[in-house]
Amino acid sequence: MVVTRHSAKKTRDSPRRPRLSLDDWTEAGLQLLVTEGRSAVKISRLCDQLGVTKGSFYWHFADIDELMHAIATRYCSHDNDAARGLTTVEEMPVRERLAHMATMLVDDRSWAAETAVRDWARSDPQVAESVRALDQRIMAVVENAFLELGFDDAGARMRAGTLVYAGIGFVYGRDNLRTPTVDEIQDLLAVLTRM
């Protein structure tokens, strides 16, 4: 009995780890996905990295597929639009908005995460759908900016597509081709905004 009380007291006096949130798990999973690829994201690996038991994982997720879906959903969600600058950009005057978005094509945002998620989308239909929804949100913001400048629907769609597809191309070609400078991107934007 003395041992039991002593053990109980030791447990009560031990510092408790803070409970991990869904965001903690998805962020850790995303970082592993980015640094080592989809095959590296394993329950035991994440538990070791986060210093918790598998019970903590199963508190939030039924299995690894559910975690992976949560990672994709979080990365491509409206909640992450602030990190991409999409929420503040819509409040800018139209020319400033386009200039800012064009500059975002070549800045040092998280290209590794963007590439990892897009590569993963090639083999996972749920992730592909999340990426498609993100691309459609971005396309709508850019297309609306061209409409505000006075271009007709077809002209706005073509110009927005040029910028959006250029951005996707920069993600995939970043390691193999020279990424345009901010000035070169602004020159492209000047061509696209010319009536």
What pLDDT sits at residue 166?
86
What pLDDT sits at residue 24?
92
For residues 29 and 52, state if they share a domain: yes
Q: Is the pLDDT of residue 9 over 50?
A: no
For residues 186 and 145, state if they share a domain: yes
Could you tell me if residue 1 is inside a domain? no
* Residue 158, domain extent: 81-193
For residues 153 and 100, state if they share a domain: yes
Mean pLDDT in the chain? 82
Q: Is the pLDDT of residue 19 over 60?
A: yes
For residues 104 and 169, state if they share a domain: yes
For residues 39 and 105, state if they share a domain: no
For residues 88 and 169, state if they share a domain: yes
Question: Contact 71/30 with Cβ under 8 angstroms?
Answer: yes
What pLDDT sits at residue 76?
80
Number of domains the chain contains: 2
Express each pLDDT in 52-99 by its tens digit.
999 999 999 999 999 998 988 888 876 566 666 677 777 889 989 888
For residues 57 and 127, state if they share a domain: no
2 or 66, higher pLDDT: 66
Express each pLDDT in 104-114 by its tens digit.
777 666 677 77
Domain end point (choices 57, 75, 93): 75
Could you tell me if residue 129 is inside a domain? yes
The pTM of the full predicted model, rounded to 2 decimals, is: 0.72
Could you tell me if residue 171 is inside a domain? yes
For residues 127 and 186, state if they share a domain: yes
Could you tell me if residue 50 is inside a domain? yes
What pLDDT sits at residue 193?
92
Question: Measuring CA to CA, which residue among 161, 156, 168 is closest to residue 106?
Answer: 168
Domain end point (choices 50, 75, 100): 75
For residues 157 and 188, state if they share a domain: yes
Express each pLDDT in 164-181 by its tens digit.
888 888 777 777 777 788
Express each pLDDT in 148-164 by its tens digit.
999 999 999 999 999 88
For residues 26 and 96, state if they share a domain: no
Q: Is the pLDDT of residue 5 over 50?
A: no
What pLDDT sits at residue 195?
85
For residues 64 and 94, state if they share a domain: no
For residues 113 and 48, state if they share a domain: no
Could you tell me if residue 22 is inside a domain? yes
Where would I find the H helices in the chain?
2-13, 22-36, 43-50, 54-60, 64-76, 81-84, 86-89, 94-104, 111-121, 125-148, 153-173, 182-193
CA–CA separation, 45 and 67 (whole Å): 13
